[in-house]
Amino acid sequence: MASIVGYSQHDGLFAPGGSMANMYGMLLARYRRFPEIKRSGVSGLGRLVAFTSVDAHYSNTKSAMTLGLGADNLVLVNVDEEGRMDVDHLKECIARAKQDGALPFLVTATAGTTVLGAYDPVDAIADVCQAEGLWLHADAAWGGGALLSPKHRHKLRGIHRSDSVTWNPHKLLAAPQQCSVFLTRHLGLLTQCNSASAPYLFQKDKFYDTKYDSEQKTSRGTHRVLKFWRFGKQRGTKGLERHIDHLFEMTKFFTETIREREGFRLVLEPQCTNVCFWYEPPSLRGKRSHDQYPQLLNSVAPRIKERMVKTGAMMITYQPLHSRPNFFRLVLQNSQVNAEDMKYFANQIEVLGRDL
């Protein structure tokens, strides 16, 4: 996985989930900048500041809270119309933090945001981090699977320049849950940051090479790795590539299907396998200029979702985002889905919502 990301030397571990993997990114970034923290703690360091986009995963906020930065010191950077981090605004935020006497140390870019599936411009963000001396963590928990496809890996251009990566095979690759990996290009840093002497566990005179004792790298105990090894052996690199390409093909097929149907409207063109869209029942069509239209449209997705659940027809999530009313988010990750399934999704939404 590290070589697929593009790291020439690397270290890493399996984590309990993407949230913990993202926390490792913040933890290592802070330790590398301030190695004294391991003994003296955070009290004498001043105000540490990290940056991520407004559409980034909530685990970034939880990490800031848990590691003692405080949620107010995670600066949320604006995104463009397609949900990608605004690099110019990132530069402004860093300059403002330094002006205020804070100590910037980390930028987290997202490769596949949870809702829109947007890929932040990692290469451009890496330029900023290099110029400012900041750690770059790439949260590719959702969208990292695209790296396995020569057709789609360009979406993560520049990820090899990151200092660390979160990648969840249980998401886009559809490995059994939970399966999350944290990778870093800084060899040995995980051990330096997290190791603690425990002579009842970490004896140096064992009969085997103790570099395989991964517990010293972590902030917890052992990790399960067998499930992804077996999953990868079963499918193979080419099989995983076909899996990714098929999901993107089905994403395109569903997008074109609803584009041609009355009542469906895309929120934006998909970047990953998230298709975000509104459905207007006949009673709302032609009424977008009415004052109550946003409020009425906002109520459509929850009503249809209720009917989905009660009929057992299917399960598609919905949510609002910023000023947008509730919209549906069809997320494809199972390679068993086919064109007939895509038509079924669209047909069922029409059936469940036409009388609203």
Question: H-helix or E-strand containing 172?
Answer: none
Q: State the sign of the Cα–Cα–Cα–Cα dihedral 294, 297, 302, 303.
A: positive
Q: Identify whether the C-beta of residue 13 lies closer than 8 Å to the C-beta of residue 190.
A: yes
Whether residues 61 and 190 share a domain: the answer is: yes
Quick one: 67 and 133 in the same domain?
yes
175 and 61 share a domain? yes
**Does one domain contain both 309 and 169?**
no
Are 26 and 160 in a shared domain? yes
Q: Which domain holds residue 317?
A: 254-353
pLDDT at 38: 87
- 163 and 265 inside one domain: no
Residue ranges for the chain with pLDDT beneath 50: 221
Query: 167 and 31, same structural domain?
Result: yes
Task: Give the CATH number of the domain where residue 116 resides.
Answer: 3.40.640.10
Count of domains for the chain: 2
Residues 107 and 153 placed together within one structural domain of the fold: yes
State pLDDT tens for residues 218-229: 765 455 678 888
Q: Can you give the pTM of this predicted structure?
A: 0.91
Let me know if residue 229 belongs to a domain: no
Q: Which region holds residue 188: left if phi is over 0, alpha if psi is between -120 and 50, else beta?
A: left
What local confidence, expressed as pLDDT, does residue 35 receive?
Answer: 92
Task: Identify whether 127 is part of a domain.
Answer: yes
Are the C-beta atoms of residues 198 and 180 closer than 8 Å to each other? no
Residue 240 lies in a domain: no
Alpha carbon of residue 301 to chain centroid:
24
Maximum Cα interatomic distance, the chain, rounded to a whole number of Å: 77
Spatial CA neighbour of 156 closest among 175, 142, 173, 177: 142
What pLDDT was estimated at residue 266? 97
Do residues 9 and 76 both lie within one domain? Answer: yes
CATH of the domain at 310: 3.90.1150.170
| Same-domain check for residues 61 and 158 | yes
Distance from C-alpha of 347 to C-alpha of 75, rounded to nearest angstrom: 42
pLDDT, tens only, 226-275:
888 888 899 999 999 999 999 999 999 999 999 989 999 999 999 999 99
